[in-house]
Amino acid sequence: MDSLFTAAVAGLSAGGAYAILGVCAIFTYRLVAVVNFTGAAIGAAGTFAMVALFELGMPLLLAVLFGVAAGALAGLAIGLVMTTWFAGSNASTKAAVTAALLVGIIAVGLRLTGGQHPHYFPEIIPGSAFRLAGVEVTWAAVTTLVLSVAFTLLTEQFLARTRTGLQLRALSQRPMAAELIGIRVRLLALGVWAVTGGVTAFALMIIAPLRSPDFASLSLLVVPALAAALIGAFSSFRAALIGGVMIGLLEGSVSAIGPVSQYRGAVPFLVILAVLLWSQRGARWDEAR
Amino acid sequence: MTKTRNLLLASAAILLAATVSAKAAPTCENGPIQIGAVSTVTGVVDFSDAPRATQAVFQQLNDAGGINGCKIEFTIADDKGDPQVAAQAARDLIDNKGVVALAGGASLLDCAVNAATYDRNDVLAVQGVGVDPLCFNAPSVAPVNVGPYTLTTAVLDYATKDLGAKKLCTFFSIIGGTQEAYAAAVARWEKISGNTITLSDMTLPLQGDLTPYLVKARDAGCDAVLTNQVEPGVVQWIKTADAQKITGINWLFLAPGYTEGVSKALADSKQPIYVGTEWEPYTEATEANADWAKTMETAGLAKTAFSQGGYMAAKVLIDTISGIEGEVTRETVTAALKEGKELTYPIAGNAYSFGDAKAHSPMQATKIMQLVDGKWTVKTKDWFVLPAAE
């Protein structure tokens, strides 16, 4: 039991990462109606921009700022593609487009960043915050958790209380109507993409030193992130936040249980499956009757 | 009538040639000797350093006049990490190019896909860098590198003998059918050392957080931990160990961890990090590396560990062909390799021989490097050689 708890705590840093990425996934879905597979890849682009600048001798703080800006730019670029050519497409087409873009970005990113060769990732937030059940919980893990909570609360307040928030809600629910009443739809949508890009870039910079430091691995963090978003049914930020942390903890504990630990990577998929079955249970019952 | 006369003339000429040079001398009446390599060049990884080095050695030989006047034509076929492309590449080399042997290949899946094809066509592969388990478990392939499995045994043995490790643990990422090969490597170490492994975990994920695994290693009381992580994984492993403030464990890695990327990325770590090399450490400017280094510089190629494999495979082929008497064909080259003559090179710790066995892992020696302040340092001046495998 003890070792299970230890392993669960060990999964906390992964959980923080999934939570912030999951919240970002919901952010893009709620506001521009895109299930965004490129989320983590956009962040990875920003992160690698930061690393490249740091390697060139730029001070860390400046490199981080430029990296966040690069992430925002990358987000903007994807946003341009989506709003220019796929604004009127349905949700599944948009999701398919971002999945295709992800494959392209990973291929290009791997080549540009030297493939599997690791880079030196400076620790933006070094050290460990506290020790729990024999596991050092790092400041990086704590920061990602705090960041995801802050992002969740800020977004909720922003959407509920500001004029721009209201316009954003209009945009996501009835894009055509929003455009007709004079809301600058495209500008708002691009803004959403840029914000997501910047936030994921910053989040990945914090996470990256303790992850496999290559472009593909960082980009594929989108899988557990989407699982987390699904727990929030792509609408509830809070549920996604908790879901992300839960997936991390679950992954951690599974790795302590001998016979099933080799299926650890399947945890996000099982979670997705379980959530889908649960959310569709009503429909199934109705049909049966 | 003329046919018979020509035949007579030809045999007379051959007889004459044989008496003039009593030494063995290969001939090549059908043009240059064709040799090829199936390698992963594009795709997820780029292993082309190995076949490019092979090419450089053959080029050097051709520029110097070839073997007894016979030039070598070398073809690199890209398998793109795709089994179907790999199979096609092998068939093209065998059927269309008419290669007499394969040399210097480094691929994610060439052996797994093509070993049987090579066997059926009686063509042998002197793999530059064998990666998948079939490279070390097929009659048609004998790599010039030690390989991850033998290296696992060797590095564990080093940890027992030289680092005084008592509680050894292993963590492996299993891709394809490598589980049995790693298990056999650990079992071989248990037999050699008389120890038993404290913890053997075969569930290391390719991606994801490693904290649970490092905590597991620490809580099991391991004093040396070996993993088969490749470059980025090595960095992640050590960074996670630092984040968890784990001390007192020797971290052992295989040859993929021995790169400059790793040494740079881990320059500020105080963890004791060891790797086993496939050949004479490529970062050292030693006498043993002199000829390889010169060849790479002349050809303008990067001096990487993979290029050592390509270099050595080319040397094996050249020395094998030089010993052939008469026409160099697939049959004569295969026969010469199967003779199993021992070939010694300074960049390897023991003699290479192909031979007629059902499986080959001729290379059984490594040198251990330690990462000290961001610099790879040789820990074993002499080769660390494993006792012969049964």
Instruction: Kindly list the distances between the CA atom of residue A130 and the CA atoms of A127, A150, A184, B236, in Å, as whole numbers in the listed order.
Output: 9, 21, 47, 21
Residues of B with Cβ-Cβ distance to A216 under 8 angstroms: 44
**Alpha-carbon distance B87 to B109, whole Å?**
10
Give chain A's domain count: 1
The mean per-residue pLDDT over the stretch A163-169 comes to 86
B51-96 pLDDT per residue, tens: 999 999 999 999 999 998 899 999 999 998 889 999 999 999 999 9
B230: which residues sit within 8 A by CB, 6+ positions away?
Answer: A116, B256, B257
A116 contacts on B by Cβ (under 8 Å): 44-45, 230-232
Question: What three-state secondary structure class fits B369?
Answer: strand
Lowest mean pLDDT of A275-289, B165-179, B270-284, name the range. Answer: A275-289
For residues A249 and A132, is the Cβ–Cβ distance under 8 A?
A: no
* Phi, psi (degrees; rounded to nearest 5) at B185: -65, -40
Among candidates B208, B216, B230 on the partner chain, residue whose Cβ is nearest the Cβ of A256: B216
How far is Cα A50 from Cα A142, in angstroms, rounded to an integer? 21
Give the pLDDT mean for B189-194.
91
Residue B13 pLDDT more than 60? no
Q: Do domains B26-146+285-359 and B148-277+366-385 have the same CATH topology?
A: yes
Q: Which CATH code for domain B148-277+366-385?
A: 3.40.50.2300
Provide the pLDDT for residue A119: 81
Q: Is the pLDDT of residue B15 over 70?
A: no
pLDDT value for A256? 75
Specify the DSSP element, H or E, that contains B110: helix B110-120
Residue B320 structure tokens: 């094998």
From chain A, pick out residues whose CB is under 8 angstroms from the CB of B259: 117
Q: Rounded distance, CA B334 to CA B142, Å?
A: 12
CA–CA distance from B205 to each of A104, A226, B238 (Å)?
A: 24, 19, 16
The reported pLDDT for the residue numbered B18 is 45
As a whole number, mean pLDDT of residues B274-297 equals 92
Averaged pLDDT for residues A161-171 = 86
Three-class SS state of B112: helix
Q: What is the ipTM of this complex?
A: 0.81
Q: pLDDT digits over B354-386, tens only?
A: 999 998 999 999 999 999 998 999 988 889 998
H helices present in chain A, as ranges: 2-10, 12-32, 39-55, 60-85, 91-112, 139-161, 163-173, 175-180, 185-207, 215-219, 222-231, 237-254, 267-279, 281-288
pLDDT per residue as tens digits for the range A94-135: 889 999 999 999 888 888 887 677 788 888 888 888 888 888
Q: Which token pair is B3? A: 């046919």
**Cβ(A229)–Cβ(A22) under 8 Å?**
yes
Lowest mean pLDDT: which of A16-20, A137-141, B80-84, B202-206?
B202-206
Q: Take residue A183 and report the two structure tokens written for it.
A: 């809301």
Q: Are B211 and A134 in contact (CB < 8 Å)?
A: no
pTM for the model stands at 0.84
Q: Any chain A CB within 8 A of the CB of B174?
A: yes
Tell me the chain A residues in contact with residue B267 when contact means C-beta distances shorter than 8 Å.
Answer: 120
As beta bridge partners, residue B372 has: B375
Structure confidence at residue A2 as a pLDDT band (50, 70, 90): low
Other CB atoms within 10 A of residue B119 CB: 15
CB < 8 Å to B247, chain A: none
CATH at residue A165: 1.10.3470
Nearest to B208 among A3, A14, A110 (CB): A14
State the pLDDT at residue A90. 83
Residue B10: pLDDT over 80: no
Strand partners, B74: B35
Tokens of B21: 């040079």
On the question of pLDDT at B390 being above 80, the answer is no
- The verdict on B221 touching A (C-beta cutoff 8 Å) is no
| Interval B310-351: pLDDT, tens | 999 999 999 999 999 888 999 999 999 999 889 999 999 899
Domain that holds residue A145: 2-288
Residue B20 pLDDT? 45
A138, A128 Cβ separation under 8 angstroms: yes
Six-digit token string for A238: 């809070």
The beta-carbon neighbor of B207 closest among A11, A116, A217 is A217
Confidence at residue A288, expressed as pLDDT on a 0 to 100 scale: 54
A84 pLDDT more than 90: no
- Chain B nearest CA to A223, separation (Å): 11
Among A18, A51, A113, A116, the residue to mutate for chain B (most B Cβ within 10 A) = A116
Q: Is the pLDDT of residue B11 over 70?
A: no
pLDDT tens-digit map of B229-281: 888 889 889 999 998 889 999 999 999 889 888 898 888 889 999 999 999 99
Beta-carbon pairs below 8 A across chains A and B = 109
Asked if the Cβ–Cβ distance from A10 to B235 is below 8 Å, we say no
For residue A289, pLDDT over 70 is answered with no
User: B230 to chain A nearest CA, in Å?
Assistant: 8
* CATH architecture of the domain with residue range B26-146+285-359: 3-Layer(aba) Sandwich (3.40)
What is residue A182's predicted lDDT score, i.e. its pLDDT?
81
B232 touches chain A (CB under 8 A): yes
Q: What are phi and psi of B133, to 5 degrees?
A: -60, -30
Chain A residues whose CB is inside 8 A of the B210 CB are 210
pLDDT the model gives residue A254: 82
The pLDDT of residue A263 is above 80: no
A209–B211 C-beta distance less than 8 A = no
Predicted local distance difference test score (pLDDT) of residue B151: 93
Kindly determine whether residue B207 and residue A220, on different chains, have CB atoms separated by under 8 Å. Answer: yes
Give B-chain residues touching A121 at CB under 8 angstroms: 265
- Distance between CA atoms of residues B235 and B1, nearest Å: 74
Tens digits of residue pLDDT in A23-49? 999 988 888 888 889 989 999 999 999
Q: Where are the domains of chain B?
A: 26-146+285-359, 148-277+366-385
The answer to whether A84 and A185 are in contact (CB under 8 A) is: no
Contacts of A213 in chain B (CB under 8 A): 232, 235-236, 265
Please give, rounded to a whole number of angstroms, the shortest distance from the CA of B252 to a CA of chain A: 18
The pLDDT, as a whole number, for residue B211 is 87
Residues of A with CB under 8 A from a CB of B: 3, 6-7, 10-11, 13-14, 17, 110, 114-121, 128, 134-136, 138, 140, 209-214, 216-217, 220, 248, 251-252, 255-256, 261-262, 264-265
Q: How far is A237 from chain B (nearest CA, A)?
A: 23
How much is the mean pLDDT over chain B?
Answer: 88
Number of C-beta neighbours around residue A289 at 10 A: 5
How do residues B123-160 score in pLDDT, each as one tens digit?
999 999 998 889 999 999 999 999 999 999 999 999 99
Q: Which two tokens stand for residue A231?
A: 């727990």
